[in-house]
């Protein structure tokens, strides 16, 4: 998650598994330094 935080600076709100997206797929919800809510898909292959 350090890679996500370095690309999208801000506060991480939650990290959840997302099995429908693949074996190691996760969604990361974060609040950017600019106040924008971001939902980032990480390592998802089945989308």
Structure tokens at 29: 């919800």
What is the pLDDT, as a whole number, of residue 27?
A: 95
Of 36, 45, 34, 43, the C-alpha closest to 4 is 43
Report domain extents, the chain: 2-42
What is the pLDDT, as a whole number, of residue 2?
A: 83
Read off the pTM: 0.79
Task: Tell me whether residue 37 is exposed, middle or buried, using C-beta atoms within 10 angstroms of its C-beta: 0 to 12, 13 to 18, 19 or more.
Answer: exposed
What is the pLDDT, as a whole number, of residue 1?
A: 75
Structure tokens at 15: 């990290």
User: How confident is the prediction along the chain (47 residues), in pLDDT tens digits per residue?
Assistant: 788 888 999 999 999 999 999 999 999 999 999 999 999 999 999 87
What is the pLDDT, as a whole number, of residue 12?
A: 93
DSSP designation for 34: T
């Amino acid at each position: 998650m350090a890679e996500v935080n370095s690309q999208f600076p801000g506060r991480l709100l939650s990290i959840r598994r997302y099995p429908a997206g693949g074996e190691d797929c996760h969604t990361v919800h974060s609040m950017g330094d600019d106040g924008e809510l971001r939902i980032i898909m990480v390592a998802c292959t089945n989308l």
